[in-house]
Amino acid sequence: MKLTWLRFFVFAALSFTAGALMSSRLTAPPSVEAQSNHVFELRVYHTHPGRLPALLTRFRDHTRRIFDQHKMTSAGYWVPQDSPAKDNTLIYILSHPSRDAATKNWKEFREDPEWVKVSKASEADGKIVEKVDSTFMEPTDFSKIK
């Protein structure tokens, strides 16, 4: 009788463990795997006073779509919550297949006739961007985004 109960508990413990392992596999958040040279670019735009709305409109209506045409993948766009940065700052992240691809795609983007037209039209009332900070980043081994 003791051997039967022992077998039952061992079987139950193994079943529980197998179920837990399967559950964790099925519910784990997906990981975005990339080529080893995949990079992210953090960009911070500082606008001239009062020009942030014009920059946001330009990104919303044109820039993001033109980025897509040049293989520049947008990860997200943010504005700060606190003053004074909330009045003149746009922060966004792009992903690129490589640093070389980023250089090539930015060059093509800047030369795109549609972008040149959009840029000129959006600055009819004056310059929008005062300064751009760009930082290329690579994900750490524990980053959810790779």
Of 52 and 8, the structure prediction assigns the larger pLDDT to: 52
Helix runs in 28-138, H state only: 52-58, 64-69, 99-111, 113-122
pTM over cut 0.85:
no
Helix runs in the chain, H state only: 2-27, 52-58, 64-69, 99-111, 113-122
Q: What is the pLDDT of residues 84-130, one digit of tens each?
A: 999 999 999 999 999 999 999 999 999 999 999 999 999 999 999 99
Is the distance from CB of 76 to CB of 95 less than 8 angstroms?
no
- Identity of the residue numbered 91: I
Q: Which of 68, 48, 51 is nearest to 109 (CA)?
A: 68
- Whether omega for the bond prior to residue 30 falls within 30 degrees of 0, making it cis, is no
